[in-house]
Amino acid sequence: MKIFLDTANCDEIKALLPTGMVDGVTTNPSLIAKSGRDIKQTIAEICALVDGPVSAEVTAIELSGMREEAKVLSELGKNVTIKVPMTTDGLILCRELSDKGIMVNVTLCFSAAQALLAAKAGAAFISPFVGRLDDLGADGMNLIADICTIYSNYEFSTEVLVASARHPQHFVDAALLGADVITLPPVTLAQLYKHPLTDKGLAAFLSDWENTGQSIT
């Protein structure tokens, strides 16, 4: 399963690239606003940092405006993935762009029916928001299971990108269900490394080694 970093903070991306865990980056208008930077400069810089897909989202909601913004964003880097909302106009643009060989990430997906439409429109990625469904008392991972099954039934090439992941268990569940990608904020990615028994075991090893009085170097 690929890991996309969910951030528009270039310093965070630079810090995590040496781990080898960053397969791509997803951004959205909220993350761009949080960065306080110009969207075009930010996306271009991220594209230069990362080899994998970089999702850049249109902010217009009408088709004509989406087209104009998608043209600008797609010219910022060869690895830009245009992110469009799960709306009728969004899917029309998805079909237009995918027919031109431009990757599209359909975002704000909350049902299997929406995911099926996105796949038929040629989306490279579908982004179901599991955390937001969990917030409403639903089980967001059930949606991931349904989408994975439907895509397998019809051999769609659209990749299931688990979005709005809130904790490490979302990461594990997504992998168990066969999701293609998960996008994580840096703080959640950092949590994947941690386990109290790992810390306890390491402390014991170091204590025992210190008592030997030896040095490897």
- State the Cα–Cα distance between residues 36 and 27, nearest whole angstrom: 13
Cβ atoms 119, 160 nearer than 8 A: no
Asked about 2 being catalytic, the answer comes back as no
b/e per residue 67-84 (b: at least 16 CB within 10 A): bebbeebbebbebbbbbb
Which candidate in 83, 100, 120, 194 is catalytic?
A: 83
- Write the CA distances from 73 to 61, 196, 207, integer angstroms: 15, 43, 54
Q: Determine if residue 101 is left, alpha or beta; phi over 0 gives left, psi from -120 to 50 gives alpha, anything else beta.
A: left
Cβ atoms 145, 139 nearer than 8 A: no
In residues, how long is the chain? 217
Handedness of CA 185, 187, 188, 192 (dihedral sign): positive
Tokens of 206: 């170091």
Cβ atoms 151, 160 nearer than 8 A: yes
Catalytic residue numbers read: 83
